[in-house]
A and B are shown apart, each in its own frame.
Chain A
Amino acid sequence: MKRRAATKFLRLAQHTAWLGLSATAASAAAPVVELPPMMVEESNASVPWLYVNAGGTEFLSRCSSGTTSEFAEAWLTKLQLVRALVPEEFLARIDVPAVFVLYGQDVRQTVSVEIQRELQGGSAGGGRNGGAPPSAGVNIAPSMRLADRDMHASIAYIDETQFDGANLSVSPSHVRFLLDRRVPELPAWLTEGVERAWRRTDFLLAPITLQPLVWIELGESEALAGDPARPRALLPANELFATGAERALQSRHPRRLQIRAAQQDLFFRWALVSGEATRAAFWKFAAQAAAGPVNEERFEASFGFDFAELRDRLSDYLPRAVREEPRIQPGPQPPIPLIEVARATPNQIARVRGEWERLAIGHVQRRMPEVREPYIAQARRTLRRAYDAGDRDPRLLATMGLCEIDAGNPAGAREFLEPAVAGGVVRPRAYYELARLRFAAVQHGEPATKMFSFTALAPVFLPLQRALTQAPPLPEVFALLAEAWARCETSPNTAEFAELQEGSRLFTQHATVAYAGALALARHGKRPEAAAILNACAGEPPDDETQAGMTRLRAELANP
């Protein structure tokens, strides 16, 4: 069987090359930093950019038309297999098209001279690909996926001589992304369990084949496979289904964490292989868990038996799970949308490629901030080329605004975000960033306790409310909306109150959303509703300040 090489986004078979500049030089002890590839400007000008827009994804490709078409088709086909294991309603709905950049150019040209210079730090010598030796512990990943709050983009290197679309499969991290962005938020036991099971699932064979479960570690799994009566520890169901806040109080013993991870996987597999009724019960229960904390009665209403029996059933299934390779029939799949490969326009090149390069800034900033400037410059160059040519597409403007935000230049962002939002761009984060900048401007120089008129805050509310109409809903939109209402002299109307409550319903794991929402409701006299929001919050406060604020607010609400 063809084995797949892991990449950040897709598992691609032999046709992917690992472009690590320092694969041999990197110290084994030091973690390797992976930097996104950066296509040298028009290094291969004779190869045209091709463009495909299908299935909610924009593909910008420098591969041949055939490879581009095959890749796009394979990608959309494999995405359907995700839905074969996870129903559509449990995956993120994202209105912003995903971005895919495909290239097959000489790998030496994927790093700009500036970056090479930064990485070398002035040292001399020859690298594996004929270039200069890189600094230790740095790789340029040939393929990578990067996610923003409201979309994701990928770049993939394709060796066209070996490419076979059938060998593609969707990586676990992408499945996790789709689960994590789903609203109402899915519980951690589900997202982690599905992701872990996905890692041991073979989509190249038909039907989908689950490879044997790894229980804690391989040796333990083999021992269990050989001895089904081997002692084993499983978490009780009430601990397995604990909310984030409850988990924070549980023992953090490494063995417990290993068991939790394996058991979440086990539960998902067990549901998948135990028949249609159990599978339906699993998703019914998952939907309830997404709506709020679950209890034994809810579980029993879905499955027909109680928590203790679930533990027993999982324990009994475990020796089979570590041994068997169950197969899942994906069932009939809907047809793939028509894929039309066309020559890319300057707007498409700048916008799609610029989007990828913008996302790379954040990644580099987090991993290796000393080399971020060339990435910023590259993104700006790409985006500017279309802008300077007169392109005012709101999507381009939104990307340019976000690029400035990511580059640490909020002052320069508004010039692009304002027209993008005015143009009705579909980009929730653009609305949020603009509202944030406007709110900061309103508050500038004012005391922290000052209340503002509705008129003053209307420019903040409007983009946030527009953002709420687009997918995915962002928790920071609800939090900022609540924060603004908390500083508003005027009370929200019924619909606006409902918006504040909706935030805590969708993001039960986000204590910041719950806290901000509860604070705003309490400020405007909705004390029982505020208390209800705090009580329904299943997430752990991210910092001491939020924790203290929530405790204080709870106390205030408890005293009439």
Chain B
Amino acid sequence: MRPPRLGLFAVFVCVPAIERAASFDDRVEALFRPPLGERVALSPDGQRVAYTSPRGSELTITIANVEPPGPRRIVKVESGREAAAAEGEPPGQLRFLRWATASRLVYAPAERVVPLPAVVDQQGRAVPNPDGPTIISPILAVDADGKERGALVDASYFQETPAEARRSLADLLRTTKELAVVRQESVRWRMPHLDILGIFPRDREQLIIGTRGAYSIPMQHLLDLRTGSVREFGGDWPVPPGEPQVFDWFRLTVVGERQAAAHPTTTWRDADLARVQQELARKFPRRSVELLDWSDNRLRVLCRVTGGSDPGRIFVYQRTEDLVWEIFHRAPWLSAAKLHDTRPFEFTVPDGARLSGYLTWPGKPRLMPPPLLVIFPSGFPGRAQPAFDPEAQVFADLGFAVARLNHRSVAGVRAEDRAALRAAVDRVTIDDGTAAIAWLAARYPDRPFDRKRVAALGRGFGGYLALRALQLQPAAFRGGIAIDAPVELRPWLRAAADGSGIPAALIAHEQADWKKLSVLHHAETLTQPVLLLDEPGAGPAIEGGAEELGARLIKLGRPAEQFALARGFAAARPAARAAAYRKIAMFLNQHLGDFAVTVGPANEVP
């Protein structure tokens, strides 16, 4: 039968649209897929590398020979978490991954603390369980060939009872579980936290572990990696320093320190490693090279290289041959040729501050020059923007040039900035944003963007800044997207307590002029189009504020939209991300893409 014409039309129009949507979703999924090698370790002889490799909601460890390369072995991380993991949830991570010997790998999944259900007291009220919580923090080992694998010990092994529960010599000799069996009344118990402190230098098959919490004082133990047996460790092994210090596990000394800066930087105390850093910097110009691990003789050095449009690669520098072996690509499913050019930038503004960030340029702009999306950092001073950002790639896919900014204080607050930041943290950052726009336009004439089509975007504190940018610099920013953004700083900071990461001394101080800092208070000055996106559960300070701001803007007749993000946006679930980016794209296309669009009046507010 001949299909009706309208039906044919629908088929022709809808099929490509569906394909495009599917392809966009696939692209977002690929960009946000957790990368390989979040943790990576080099064996003491430099022959093998082990690295984490997420597979769906499962975490595995891949073991690979460096040179000569051989077959890789995949070891599933059994953390006891699988049953609880929801479908689509990203896998957990490891808290420890190191080679004890040339052929024995030790690893430990991130600790999970599972509270016991509440109990009912004698009055029938629900009260917290006096026992527990259950701490799941197994320490596991596996041989290089993937065999001899399993948990050596877990927190449950060290489960403790209060001292008074042991009333006799026999009780002292019983385990907590045995004690519970022989007692008529219930026996209280707790589990300690397990820390891996080091590998015993005289016998690298012995792991030094520490217990803390529960009922006892912190203790140290030796864990035999061959047998799993535990015995008390007589010494007082120092706890290895964590980030930002870099620890040499062979020489048992701090050899360097990671610096908070616009790009990953390490200050080395060790001259040999400093030399290696220089050599690798020459081999990877314009990239960040982080030394991650090394063989005991340091002839092989493991490093991570990031920068450009690449999500990062892991290399082993073979110093005798002066060759750098690429061990794996952190996102091999992403082709370098299909990623958009990303360049770091850094410059000095007239007051002497260094501004930095990344500019991502669309490979195929839809408009020439393309519109620019300025992304403000989420925290304050916040962490430096990563060299590779999936979100920037998505926006570049959509035809936008993307400038991701760091705060001027990303490497530490300068004394001379303190007063200005205390008075108006928003204005300082937004002025820096406009300075960055001007500088980028001047610095990259071969990468022009449309100065009349600049939009601001941010999440959390960055979202707040995006809204304030529309209020303070309406001539520079012609639209804004705020994700989970507070519109009033005071209640948000109060609700977030220390979780905001915003230093109270700079913002939430006694002299703070909260009205001046408020988005809501100056709602009428928001004349440019605004898109407010909130994830359910973002908290009343955000959800309520966005609701109120949206209502006021609509009442004022301003172009404002609200959109409820799907759950999982913050956790970077691809489906939630794709829906949000689609919405943002529609918003930007509607308000920035059309040359005939009328842009609202541009009055700067005090």
Contacts and interface: CB of A to CB of B under 8 A. Distances in A.
B244 to A, nearest CB: 25
Given A231-B66, A231-B326, A306 B308 contact: yes
B328 interface: yes
Interface string B47-75: 00000000000000000111101001000
B327 interface: yes
Contacts of A556: none
A233 B324 contact: yes
Nearest to B325: A233
A236 B310 contact: no
Interface stretch (B209-217, B334-342, B460-468, B547-555): B334-342
Nearest to A307: B285
B509 interface: no
Contacts of B341: 304-305
Interface in A206-242: 223, 228-236, 238-239
Interface stretch (B115-123, B126-134, B315-323, B528-536): B315-323
B326 A238 contact: no
Interface in B273-289: 282-287
Nearest to B363: A304
Contact of A255 (B65, B285, B321): B321
B322 A251 contact: yes
Contacts of A255: 321, 323
Contacts of B329: 229, 315-316
B307 interface: yes
Interface string A315-350: 110000000000000000000000000000000000
Contact of A309 (B64, B66, B309): B309
A251 B335 contact: no
Interface in B318-361: 318, 320-329, 332, 335-337, 341
B327 A308 contact: no
Contacts of B318: 233
A229 B332 contact: yes
B305 interface: yes
B74 to A, nearest CB: 12
Interface string A274-309: 100000000000000000000010000000111111
Contact of A308 (B307, B321, B323, B325): B307
B135 to A, nearest CB: 36
A509 to B, nearest CB: 23
Contacts of B284: 236, 308, 311
A313 B321 contact: no
Which of A223, A250, A274, A311 has the most CB atoms of chain B within a 10 A radius of its CB? A311
B453 interface: no
Contacts of A274: 337
A256 B323 contact: yes
Contacts of B322: 250-251, 253, 256
B313 interface: yes
B327 A231 contact: yes
Contacts of A114: none
A251 B328 CA distance: 24
By size class, the interface of chain B is 35 or more
Contacts of A239: 283
Given A236-B284, A238-B282, A313-B336, A308 B326 contact: no
Q: For chain B, what secondary structure do more than half of its interface residues adopt (helix, strand, loop), or is it mixed?
A: mixed
A235 B65 CA distance: 20
Interface in A156-192: none
A231 B64 contact: yes
A95 interface: no
Interface in B159-216: none
Interface in B541-597: none
B337 A316 contact: yes
B308 A305 contact: yes
Contacts of A316: 329, 335-337
Q: Which one of A228, A233, A313 has the highest number of Cβ atoms from chain B below 10 Å of its Cβ? A: A233
A259 interface: yes
A236 B283 contact: yes
A250 B318 CA distance: 14
B285 A229 contact: no
A235 to B, nearest CB: 8
B325 A232 contact: yes
Contacts of B69: 223, 230-232
A308 B309 contact: no
Interface residues of A, number: 31
The listed residue with most B CB atoms (<10 A of its CB), out of A231, A296, A316, is A231
B527 to A, nearest CB: 39
B321 A312 contact: no
B67 A308 contact: no
B308 A312 contact: yes
Nearest to A305: B341
A304 B325 CA distance: 25
A308 B307 CA distance: 9
Interface string A444-464: 000000000000000000000
Given A253-B322, A308-B286, A231 B332 contact: no
A309 B287 CA distance: 10
Contacts of A311: 284
Interface in B283-306: 283-287, 305
Interface in B249-295: 282-287
B321 A251 contact: yes
A222 to B, nearest CB: 13
A228 to B, nearest CB: 8
Nearest to B328: A229
Given A231-B69, A251-B321, A313-B337, A306 B326 contact: no
B326 A309 contact: no
A296 B286 contact: yes
Interface string A45-57: 0000000000000
A309 B308 contact: yes
Interface in B477-525: none
Contacts of A232: 69, 325-326
A317 to B, nearest CB: 9
A296 B321 CA distance: 24
A253 B285 contact: no
Contact of A312 (B310, B316, B320): B310
A231 B67 contact: yes
A260 B604 CA distance: 59
A233 to B, nearest CB: 4
Contacts of B305: 308
A309 B336 contact: yes
Contacts of B337: 274, 313, 316
A315 B283 CA distance: 15
Interface in B57-102: 64-67, 69, 72
A274 B337 CA distance: 10
A311 B308 CA distance: 12
A223 B64 CA distance: 14
A215 B115 CA distance: 56
Given A304-B341, A313-B337, A253 B326 contact: no
Interface in B433-456: none
A315 B69 CA distance: 15
Of A229, A232, A235, most B-chain CB atoms within 10 Å = A229
Nearest to B36: A229
A320 B389 CA distance: 27
B325 A238 contact: no
Nearest to A239: B283
15 contacts: A229-B72, A229-B328, A230-B69, A233-B321, A233-B323, A233-B326, A235-B323, A251-B322, A255-B323, A256-B321, A259-B323, A296-B285, A308-B310, A315-B313, A316-B336
The 6 residue pairs across chains A and B that have the minimum distance between CB atoms: A251-B322, A236-B283, A233-B323, A231-B69, A253-B321, A233-B325
Interface of B: 64-67, 69, 72, 282-287, 305, 307-310, 313, 316, 318, 320-329, 332, 335-337, 341
Given A231-B64, A253-B322, A308-B287, 7 more contacts: A230-B69, A231-B65, A231-B327, A236-B282, A236-B324, A253-B320, A308-B307
